[in-house]
Structure 1
Amino acid sequence: MTLPSARAPEGVPESRGLNLFEADPSYRGLLELHLEPKLCAHLLPHFAQLGAMAGGDLDELALEADKNPPVLNGQRIEKSQAYKKLEEVAFAKYGLAAMSHRGGVLGWPEPLPPAVKYALTYVYVQAEFGVCCPLSMTDALTRTIRKYADPALVARYLPGLTSQDLDALTQGAMFITEQQAGSDVGLVQTLATREKDHWLLSGDKWFCSNVDAGLALVLARPEGAPGGTAGLSLFLLPRTLPDGSPNRYRIVRLKDKLGTRDMPSGEIKLEGALAWLVGDPQQGFKQMTDMINMSRLSNGMRAAGMMRRALTEALFVARRRMAFGKPLIELPLMRRQLLKLMLPAEAARSVLFFISKDLEKADAGDELARRRVRLLTPLIKFRACRDARRVTADAMEVRGGAGYIEEWSDPRLVRDAHLGSIWEGTSNIVALDVLRAIRREKCLEALLPELDERIARAPRLLAGRLAASLDKAAEFAHETASTQSEAHARQAATGLYYACAAALLADEGTRLGERGDARRQLLAFLAYVHRLAPRDPLRRVTTGFEAEFAQALLPETPIAPDAAERILTRLA
């Protein structure tokens, strides 16, 4: 049910009040496919409730918070009431930052697996992107100190980091960037001086998101340490000292940003701030990459969620907006464009589920899964975040001039989507990291057998094309990595990403087909045609497959396996 609104004059479809979980017909089936049955049944009501909130109250709060950015008053940051309510839902009601680290969240007695955390946050981010940064930072900081910090330090701070009581909650952050040290982290100049059982940090950090967090992980260089990343150590920096006094660092100013306007990012000056060493002093950067990679994966999840929100809005409008005597969705060019929005949105979701399941295995000691996560994390961060920029912008066009107005979600999605390609590594940096994972850690060797097994289960006509494309993409990526051909890093990463996504879409389509819905097999074929197969850009496609695919996919209703196979057979 949608609600009336003054912002929607006659003829402009009003999507406010739409349940964003129920408006995504594929999602329930994917959850049932990827989550343990008892857990899935327990969580489905929570997904439905969050979907209703995301399309209603949370969306309105996000609009309000976006228009009322935080203000620095002395050393205190004043945040809007709307932002605080958004925090309350994420941290308190749903426990999104705590659920991976302790039981009891959402009535489940054990810590929830990564797939649940990302699947729920995927719905939340469709309404609000800004709060997802503190969520990710808090979750990732907790994970990192549990792995590397002194147990006494963990015992002191873990209860606050995993609290669902906002008065007791300690939020997390990471402070890395300096003016001269952005992507080139080895240029960090912040100095660490040892004093008995703690360290004193001095220097400037130039871009600190969630800048007033209670705890931050900071990269700094101990006195006498060598240059480059090898000389960096990792430190835990409290906002408030154990005796209750403020630590010795100042927030210099807040950033006036294009997106995530409601979440405070700023500059800080460390003036002999007390901090504790985390882990091995010679492994600071390596240890910090654990937090960075979790944040990169979160960025991929957010990109996937924002693309789904953009697609939901575009489909809602196209089905209801009349032009030239018919609904927009019946116009051939619009149908083609909607397919181009659907493919990257669904590809990102499939890759996200695969990584999240492998992350659980990796944390349990599975080395092959660890290597797959190592490769796929920068891969989804690179490609999904770039895709989100285009998908959100093209979806805004479907609403036309109304979509350009700040009363709707479209402009906020466009602005927020651009951030995913910048923080925790720009597109170039993460594409190069994909090559590094292939070259140094033999991650392709861990990934390809897993994907080959999935492709083998697909219908023969689809499997042959996907297997050949995966082989070609892997060969190109391996050659690019081996020869360190940096100029082709983005091309190699894009090909590998979509070859992986096509394999995963096909496998989901095959397994869901056993329950009566093989739609994702068609999406896998679409990925092959649009992203992997050679095409002449100056020749018109004459097979008519896109019209048939639009007819099958745009209603977002189940397609029986035999119907999907007939479509694939005709195209072959």
Structure 2
Amino acid sequence: MSAADSPAPYPERTAGSNFFDLDDALRRHLARRSPELLARNETRLSDFGGWAGGKLEEQAAYTDRHAPPRLEVTDRDGGLSSRVILNPAYRDCHAEAYRRGAIGLCFGPKAEPHLLSFAFGYLLSMADISIHCPVTMTGAVAHVLERMAPAEIRGRYLPELVRMDGKALSGGTWATERHGGSDIGATTTRAVGTDGGWRLHGLKWFTSNAGSGLALATARPDGAPRGGKGLGCYLVPGHLPGGEPNAYNIRRLKEKLGTRGLPTGEIELEGAFGVEVAGPPDGLRAMMAALEYSRVHNAFGAAGLQARALLEAACWAIHRRAFGRPIANYPMVREALLDIAMEHEASTALAVESGLAFDEAERREDAIPWLRTVTALAKYRTAEQAVRSSVRAVELVGGNGYTEEWPTARLYRDALVTAVWEGPANIQALELLRATTGRLPGDYAFVERVTAALESAPDRLTDAVATIREGLSEVTAAIARLRARPEEGPRVGRRLLDRMSDLLAAALLVEAARNDERLALLAGRFVHRHLGGAGSLLDDDPALTAFDMIFPRIERTG
């Protein structure tokens, strides 16, 4: 590629950039997997990327360091209050995400696939996952209302979540309790039936987007059986029809390592009014539908965080000079950049695969096993790599990157939430076991998808394909054993999650590399690093030799 044909080089500072236009991976994977969606929305995504790199990024830095949310506990007359105070910049950017269609475009008579919302989430997380999180939950609540709520409730509340005039209500999902954590079936919150609705009593321990306009909450009606089958799912408005606050108290806001702009609280339900979205035994299924939606968004958010880590590291490397040259010219810096780029491509491929699976499962019930399987794999692996890539970005930028004046410090703190949000690694391993070694045939869907991907591999990746096939045979044998001996599942579930996520990521990269020399180099590198054994310490790295082709924006370093 000549200098004249190269994309514009990376800027010296990322703030003010168009995050969509600077990120080739998302556009490339969308163009290959969903070209019609990209054709309809490329301008919209570019405009969103410009806003994300501009006003949203400016707000994120300000809110994180100077104006996090606070809780007002008394009103002006000295009475008890429970009101979350957000700074105007955060509040305006949150509303702007909905106005731009981050949720609303995927609902209504001309609804776009949810893949578009997930792509918006990717761009949001490049700037501020503290706004991506509530946007995700708003979409999750809207999804459950559209799919599972009675017609009256759907017609009454769904329009308030999907409107695009800047006045949309935001959503929350209240499932976690102090004693139960990820064990939602252990919910102790009570639901008491009244005329026209339900009254909820209990403590929700970890509620992000505290103060949301509409939240889904799990609760157990009096007399319902214990466990998940006794749960109902209820929609709890922040305010009652007359405008008065609903009967719940935000006891405190959590002090968190990251996502400091996002209000996360402990909420005491004190007879809060709610309407039933799904009663027992379907309440847990409704909440799990919300969490599944959020997990796909989590994968896109983690991939977006990696995109930002790559952007920060590359911008620094091209403009920082040491010993007379830009540091992007030094082999060890190039190795680090290749590591981030390789994992970012894998995460973006996994995220897009999960987004497509979500939309397919909306159309066909027999696609659900693959959705359950790929969501667990994508959520897990993208989150793991978001944390690692953020660490590498801090390391590359060095001392400046460790300071709060630099975006990499916030990026690292925020990336950690993707590993715990909507279920940490062990929960994803249990989800994978249920999808592949239980009643669901997710393992067959996995084998079918990986096999199909390998059939599209370019000839130059023959060795990589053989390695992936060997890994696929190993996984197939392991799952067959676990079906016969399910008691072994908890012992090896995490290892199975690791291996299957690496195999799927490798297969997707190989598939994407069919007519893309750049991706072929990264795919071969990925297979060698994750599936091909340690290899020789002194082996040449073909990707390093072709660095200027893989990073055309860094080609002009001189």
* Amino acid in the other structure paired with 2:97: A
Task: State how far apart, in whole Å, the 1-side matches of 2:71 and 2:257 are.
Answer: 18
Alignment-derived partner of residue 112 in structure 2: 112
Residue pairs, 1:461-472, within 5 angstroms = 461=462, 462-472=464-474
Within 1, Cα distance between the matches of 2:480 and 2:143? 31
Counterpart residue type for residue 305 of structure 1: G
Structure 1 length as normaliser, TM-score?
Answer: 0.88
1:479 Cα deviation from its structure 2 partner: 4.1
Which runs of 5 or more residues in structure 1 are unaligned?
1-11, 104-109, 559-572
Residue of structure 1 in register with 2:425 after alignment: 427
- Please give the per-residue CA displacement for 1:22-53, whole angstroms capped at 9, x wherever unaligned: 2223443333222344x423322222222222
State the SS of the aligned residue for 2:271. strand
In structure 2, do the counterparts of structure 1 residues 116 and 257 end up closer, same or farther at CA, with 3 Å as the change threshold?
Answer: same
Distance 1:161 1:43 in 2: 21
- 2:455 matched residue in structure 1: 456
Residue 131 of structure 1, CA deviation: 0.9
1:383 and 2:389 are equivalent in the alignment: no
2: CA distance, partners of 1:532 / 1:432: 23
1:135 counterpart letter in structure 2: V
**1:229 offset after TM fit, Å?**
1.8
Q: Matches of 1:330 and 1:318 in 2, distance apart?
A: 8
- Pairing 1:10-159 to 2, within 5 Å after superposition: 13-37=12-36, 39-67=37-65, 68-73=67-72, 74-92=81-99, 94-102=100-108, 110-159=110-159
Match in the other structure for 2:327: 328
Q: Which amino acid aligns with 2:471?
A: S
Q: How does 1:225-264 map to 2 (within 5 A)?
A: 225-264=224-263
AA of the residue aligned to 1:447: F
Cα distance in 2 for residues equivalent to 1:328 and 1:187 = 54
Change over 3 Å in CA distance of 1:529–1:160 after alignment to 2:
same
Give distance in 2, aligned partners of 1:235 and 1:423.
21
Residue 209 and residue 544 in structure 1: after superposition, are their counterparts in 2 closer, same or farther (change >3 A)?
closer
Counterpart of 1:290 in structure 2 is 289
Hey, what does 1:519 align to over in structure 2?
A: 518
How far apart, CA to CA, are the structure 2 residues paired with 1:371 and 1:448? 12
What is the deviation of 1:262? 1.0
**1:480/1:489 contact within 8 Å kept:** no
Q: Is the 8 A contact 1:26 1:556 kept in 2?
A: no
Deviation at 1:556, TM superposition (A): 6.2
Per the TM alignment, residue 474 of structure 1 is displaced from its structure 2 partner at its CA by 4.2
Conserved? CA contact 1:202–1:269, under 8 Å: yes
Q: Structure 1 464/62 Cα, relative in aligned 2: closer, same or farther at 3 Å?
A: same
The code of the aligned residue for 1:297 comes to V
CA contact (8 A) 1:300 1:384 kept: yes
- Cα distance in 1 between the residues matched to 2:473 and 2:318: 39
1:304 CA drift (Å): 0.4
1:231 and 1:69 map into 2 onto residues whose CA distance is 38
Q: Number of aligned pairs?
A: 530
Relative to structure 1, the CA distance from residue 392 to residue 371 in structure 2 (aligned partners, 3 Å threshold; closer, same or farther) is: same
Q: What is the rounded CA distance, in whole Å, between the counterparts of 2:94 and 2:88 in structure 1?
A: 10
SS at structure 1 position matched to 2:389: helix
- Shift in Å at residue 437 of structure 1? 1.1
- Cα shift at 1:296: 1.1
Does 1:499 pair with 2:503? yes
Counterpart contact for 2:20–2:45, Cα < 8 Å: yes
* Distance in 2, Cα, partners of 1:374 & 1:27: 23
Deviation at 1:202, TM superposition (A): 0.7
Alpha-carbon distance between aligned partners in 2 of 1:301 and 1:474, rounded to the nearest angstrom: 28
Instruction: Give the SS at the match of 1:341.
Output: helix
* Residues in 2 aligned to 1:545 and 1:24: alpha-carbon distance in whole angstroms: 23
Partner AA of 1:76 in structure 2: R
Q: Deviations along 1:108-152, whole A, 9 cap, x unmatched?
A: xx2111222212221222011111111111111111122221110
Structure 2 residue identity aligned to 1:81:
P
Letter aligned with residue 504 of structure 2: C
* Aligned equivalent of 1:569: none
> CA–CA distance in 1 between the matches of 2:54 and 2:371?
35
Amino acid at match of 1:421: A
Q: Distance in 2 between matches of 1:530 and 1:252?
A: 48
Q: CA RMSD in A?
A: 2.1
Query: 2:126 is paired with a residue of what secondary structure?
Result: coil
The 1-side partners of 2:141 and 2:64 are apart by 26
Report the Cα offset of residue 403 of structure 1: 0.9
Partner SS, residue 419 of structure 2: coil
1:281-430, aligned counterparts within 5 Å?
281-367=280-366, 369-430=367-428
What is the CA distance between 1:542 and its match in structure 2?
2.1
What letter matches 2:513 in structure 1? G
Does the CA contact (< 8 Å) of 1:469 and 1:533 recur in 2? no
- Where does residue 215 of structure 2 map in the other structure? 216
Alpha-carbon shift at residue 311 of structure 1 (Å)? 0.5
Q: Which moved more, 1:476-485 or 1:209-218?
A: 476-485
Aligned to 1:7: none
CA deviation after TM superposition for structure 1 residue 197, in Å: 4.1
- Deviations 1:136-189, CA, capped at 9 Å, x for gaps: 11111111122221110111111111112333x221111111111102222221
- Letter in structure 1 aligned against 2:112: L
Contact 2:354 2:378 in 1 (8 A): no
Is the 8 Å Cα contact of residues 502 and 523 (structure 1) preserved in structure 2?
Answer: no
Alignment-derived partner of residue 548 in structure 1: 545
Q: CA deviation at 1:387?
A: 1.2
Q: What does the per-residue CA deviation read over 1:285-335, in whole Å, with 9 as the maximum and x for residues that have no partner?
A: 122111011111111110000001101111111122112222212222222
User: Is the partner of 2:19 in helix, strand or coil?
Assistant: coil
Secondary structure of the 1:314 match is: helix
Contact 1:62–1:86 (CA under 8 A) maintained in structure 2: no
The SS at the match of 1:139 is helix
Consecutive unaligned residues in structure 2, runs of 5 or more: 1-10, 73-80
Distance 1:338 1:56 in 2: 25
CA 1:480 to 1:411, structure 2 compared with 1: closer, same or farther past 3 Å?
farther
Moved more, 293-302 or 464-473: 464-473
Q: CA deviation at 1:102?
A: 2.1
Mean Cα deviation higher: 484-493 or 229-238: 484-493
Change (3 A) 1:226 1:339: same
**Match of 2:192, SS?**
strand
Contact map agreement 2:435 2:442 (CA 8 A) in 1? yes
Output one character per residue of 1:452-489: Cα deviation in whole Å (capped at 9) or x when no partner: 12211212414333333333344445545754332322
Provide the C-alpha distance between the structure 1 equivalents of 2:520 and 2:434, rounded to a whole number of angstroms: 32
- Tell me the residue number matched to 2:3: none
Matches of 2:151 and 2:338 in 1, distance apart?
51
Preserved contact between residue 480 and residue 486 of structure 1 (Cα < 8 Å): no
State the one-letter code of the partner of 1:99.
Answer: L
Moved more, 398-407 or 477-486: 477-486
Structure 1 residues 232-286: Cα deviation after superposition (integer angstroms, max 9, x where no partner): 2211112222333322111111111111111111111111122122224112112
Contact 1:206 1:267 survives alignment (8 Å): yes
Q: d(CA) in 2 for partners of 1:550 and 1:486?
A: 42
Measured in 2, the distance between the counterparts of 1:27 and 1:390 equals 20
- By relative contact order (CA 8 Å, sep 6+), the higher-ranking structure is 2
Whole-Å separation in 2 of the counterparts to 1:491 and 1:339: 26
Give the conservation status (yes or no) of the 8 Å contact 2:236–2:274.
Answer: yes
Distance 1:244 1:54, change over 3 A: closer
Q: Identity of aligned pairs, percent?
A: 32
Change (3 A) 1:16 1:248: closer
